[in-house]
Structure 1
Amino acid sequence: MTTLTKTLELKLVEPNAHKRRKLRETREAYQQALHDAFDAGCTTQTEANDVVVNYKLSGYAKNALKKYVPQLTTTYNAGELHDAHPVRFTNEGLRLDHKPENAIEWYVKIPHHEDYHLWMPAQPNPEQRDWLEALNAGDATMGESRLFERDGTWYLHVTATRDAEGGSEVSDEERTPIGVDIGEASLVTVCHRDDHGCPTAPELWADEGKTVRRLRKTYFTATRRLQTRGSERIAESFGDDLWNQIDDVFHRVTREVVDYAESVKNPVLVLENLTYIRESMDYGEYMNRRLHGWGFAKLHAQIRYKAVEKGIPVKTVNPRNTSKECHACGEVGYRPQQATFKCTNDACWMGEYQADVNGAVNIADRYLSGESRFREHENDDDSAEDGGRLTAPQDSQADATKQETLGTYAS
């Protein structure tokens, strides 16, 4: 088993004036405590604690200082401090919250002082989404985090560690591509070709697709009624419970997808590239259709990080027409029914085929053909795309009367 460690990058999204002021207060108090402890020549945690204990900082920042200052003086032999030290928090200090139904999905709780914390919307590095998913799911361990400002923008760097099995040295040509199709009827469908080139051992999670569709419909119908009646808090609590149920389904299905891949010799999981899915989201009034886009991204992320843990590579391919082309002859066909694909080529032996399996085989074949891994034309993706924005976590308050001042949304 191999241990992987990575620093995750998150940009805090346009904090309002109140939160900027609180972030600066935290930074100024931290810098002052750091300089005073360093100037006092603290070489032990006890000595550093005696200096920093009275500063208006959270215990997570004080504990980080107690460890860091002795390192500066005894390990790094620092002669002086520069002015741009980030604010450090111990691993217990930061908290993540994932609101996949929102336009901004990720939120972080940043400690200000003992009884006051700031919830901030955050934009992660998109290439690290799988790590963030693993951290949020408890499949990776959070280490120290660092808060800093650069050119007027606030950032967080979070250390994350997880275990991964070392993969064997296998060339791309030796890999068996497993197509992963994500859709409405079947939540996920996987299939690969055997040694003779025939599609084999398809597996469909159709019942799970029905469950997610039911939960989505319940969520949007019930919460809209509650919001219309002014019951925002009840709607949010009800919504959180349904999102948790959907998330449980996603985690179980993605684990089973990776288990399927483990049963295949030298597997590589092949997904459609959804790089531009958020840029083309529909924010229209039909809310019961708005969840599908984030569902694609969330399932992709969970498959990626769970596959990495097992040493299984994951690749992406151009999604153009993967559900419209015949996997046998390449002719563009159609779906007379949701679960049925019909080839329009009279000379093709296939005729009709299970539509999701046909799509999964096409996705696997894109890997074998070496086709571009990036979408070249915005309209080429035939997957459903949408998204939504609801509410975000709220800041903790020592004075409850401040709640109205900050409002409902973390911004």
Structure 2
Amino acid sequence: MTELTKTLELKLVDPNAHKRRKLRKTREAYQQALHDAFDARCTTQTEANDIVVDYDLSGYAKNALKQYVPQLTTTYNASELHDDHPVRFTNEGLRLDHKPENAIEWYVKIPHHEDYHLWMPTQPTPEQRNWLEALNAGDAEMGESRLFERNETWYLHVTATRSVAERSEVSVDERTPIGVDIGEASLVTVCHRDDNGSPTVPKLWADEGKTVRRLRKTYFTATRRLQTRESERIAGSFGDDLWNQIDDIFHTVTREVVEYAESVENPVLVLEDLTDIRESMDYDEYMNRRLHGWGFAKLHAQIRYKAIEKGIPVETVNPHNTSKECHACGDVGSRPRQATFTCTNDDCWINEYQADVNGAINIADRYLSGESQPREHTDGNDSAEDGGRLTAPQDTQADAT
């Protein structure tokens, strides 16, 4: 095992005027405390504490200052401070909250001062989501965080560390691609071909798909009724409980997907590249609501980071027609029912086939044909548009300093 450390740059989504004022007050107080402690040439944490203790900052920011100022004066031998320094918080200061039912799924708690915290929405990139999933599940360790403003936009730099297995040096041709199909009939389906090119016995998580569909239906029905009765607080609490149950199912299924891959020699997990899936969905209103909140990106992220921890590579392929092409002859068929694929080629030996298994085999085959495209995103995101969020954490009095 080896430790992998990454700094995530999280963009805070459109803080309102009130929260912008709070953020700037935090920055101003931090800058003043930093300059005063530096000008006093503090060389120990005790000396720095005597300076910063009276400032209107959270304990997390004060503790970060007590560690940072002695480094400036002793380790770096700085003679003066240059530019605006970001506001630093110790690793206990930042907290994450995940609301997968919302258009904006991720929130971060930013300490403002001793008795008040700000909850801010953030839209991570697909690569960052992998790390947030790991942090949220306790599979990665959060380090120091830094708050700063750039071009009138606020950002957080969050340091995260996790242990990953060493990857074996195996060529692409030696890998066994395992197709991973994420859908509604079966929550996840995995399948690969054997040495003779025949599909192996697949594994489907169909019961889990039924359970998630039931929980989501319960959520939308019950919260709509509660909101109609103006019971917003009860609706939020009820929704949190249901989404926690869904989250537990997602973690169990994605762990079992990776365990399946571990049982295969030289595996590579192959997923569909769903970067623009939400924007490309154009069904009726009911299906749009179901698919936008289904959790494609969440399942992708969990599979990716759990596979990485085991040293299993993950690749993505173009998703076009993976669910409609016949894995045997390549012709485009039809899906008369959600779980059924029908091949319309009279010369093909396949008449009907389980649709999710057919999709998983097609996904694996696209890796073999050289269509794989590693997901290296440097900008943008695949989150849904702003607005429409159902619940969000509320700014609260401090629970610890």
Cα 1:275/1:207, change in 2 over 3 Å = same
Q: How does 1:37-52 map to 2 (within 5 A)?
A: 37-52=37-52
Number of residue pairs matched by the alignment: 389
Name 1:221's counterpart in structure 2. 221
Change (3 A) 1:35 1:273: same
What per-residue deviation string (whole Å, max 9, x for no partner) do you get for residues 345-371 of structure 1?
111112221111111000000111112
For residues 309 and 374 of structure 2, the distance between their equivalents in structure 1, rounded to whole angstroms, comes to 25
The 5-angstrom pairing of residues 19-30 of structure 1 reads 19-30=19-30
Counterpart contact for 1:215–1:246, Cα < 8 Å:
yes
Q: 1-side partners of 2:215 and 2:91: how far apart? A: 34
Partner of 1:290: 290
Q: Tell whether 2:204 aligns with 1:200.
A: no
Q: Which residue identity lines up with residue 150 of structure 2 in the other structure? A: R
Change over 3 Å in CA distance of 1:6–1:306 after alignment to 2: same
Residue identity matched to 1:86: P
**Whole-angstrom distance in 2 between the partners of 1:348 and 1:125:** 42
SS in 1 for 2:111: strand
Matched, 1:4 2:4: yes
Distance in 2 between residues matched to 1:43 and 1:197, nearest whole Å: 67
TM normalised by structure 2 equals 0.93
3-state secondary structure, aligned to 2:192: strand
Is the Cα–Cα contact under 8 Å of residues 37 and 69 in structure 2 kept in the other structure?
A: yes
| CA distances 1:161-217 after superposition (whole Å, capped 9, x unpaired) | 000000100111111000000111110000000000000031000100110010011
1:77 and 1:350 mapped to 2: Cα distance?
74
Give the drift of 1:287. 8.3
Q: What secondary structure, in the 3-state scheme, does the structure 2 residue paired with 1:200 have?
A: coil
In structure 1, the residue matched to 2:309 is 309
2:80 alignment partner in structure 1: 80
Cα distance in 2, alignment partners of residues 173 and 279 from structure 1: 34
Greater CA deviation, 306-315 or 117-126? Answer: 117-126
- C-alpha contact 2:282 2:288 (8 A) present in aligned 1: no
Contact 2:101/2:293, CA 8 A, preserved across alignment:
no
Contact 2:315 2:374 in 1 (8 A): no
Q: Specify every segment of 5 or more residues in structure 2 that has no aligned partner in the other structure, as ranges.
A: 376-383
What does residue range 105-124 of structure 1 map to in structure 2 within 5 Å?
105-124=105-124
Distance 1:323 1:284, change over 3 A: closer
Deviation track 1:86-144 (CA, whole Å, cap 9, x = no partner) reads 00000000011111111111111100111101111112233221111111111100000
Distance in structure 2 (CA, Å) of the matches to 1:174 and 1:11: 40
Distance 2:249 2:397 in 1: 34
8 Å CA contact 1:335, 1:341 repeated in 2: yes
State the one-letter code of the partner of 2:356. Answer: D
The equivalent residue for 2:326 is 326
- Post-superposition offset of 1:280: 3.7
8 Å CA contact 1:101–1:388 kept in 2: the answer is no
Question: CA contact under 8 A between 1:10 and 1:123: conserved in structure 2?
Answer: yes
C-alpha separation in 1, matches of 2:200 and 2:284: 40
**What is aligned with 1:274?**
274
Residue type of the partner of 1:58? S
What is the CA–CA distance in structure 2 between the aligned matches of 1:393 and 1:305, rounded to whole Å?
26
Partner of 2:357: 357
Supply the AA of the counterpart residue of 2:334.
Y
1:102–1:7 CA distance, 2 compared to 1 (3 A): same
> Which residue in the other structure is 1:257 paired with?
257
Corresponding residue for residue 404 of structure 1: none
Provide the secondary structure at the position in 1 that maps to 2:253: helix
Within a 5 Å distance, the mapping from 1:111-260 to structure 2 comes to 111-260=111-260
**Judging changes above 3 Å, is the alpha-carbon distance between structure 1 residues 281 and 33 closer, same or farther for their aligned structure 2 residues?**
farther
Distance 1:28 1:154 in 2: 14
Once the two structures are superposed, residues 236-280 of structure 1 have per-residue CA deviations (whole angstroms, 9 ceiling, x without a partner) of: 100000000000000000000000000001000000011112334
User: 2: CA distance between counterparts of 1:334 and 1:295?
Assistant: 25
Distance in 2 (alpha carbons) for counterparts of 1:238 and 1:89: 32
Structure 2 counterpart of 1:32, which letter?
Q
CA RMSD of superposed structures (Å)? 2.0
Over the matched positions of the two proteins, sequence identity in percent amounts to: 87
Residues 374 and 322 of structure 1: is their aligned pair in 2 closer, same or farther, counting only changes over 3 Å? Answer: farther
Contact 2:326–2:332 (CA under 8 A) maintained in structure 1:
yes
Contact 2:130–2:305 under 8 Å retained in 1:
yes
Gaps of 5+ in 1: 376-384, 399-411
Q: Could you tell me whether the CA contact under 8 Å between 2:261 and 2:269 is conserved in 1? A: yes
- On the 8 A contact 1:101/1:291 being kept in 2, the answer is no
Distance 1:138 1:372 in 2: 30
Secondary structure in structure 2 of the residue aligned to 1:8: strand
Question: In structure 1, how many angstroms separate the alpha carbons of the residues matched to 2:292 and 2:189?
Answer: 16
Q: What is the TM-score when the length of structure 1 is the normalising length?
A: 0.91
Q: In structure 2, what is the equivalent of residue 401 of structure 1?
A: none
2:330 is matched by which residue type in structure 1?
Answer: G
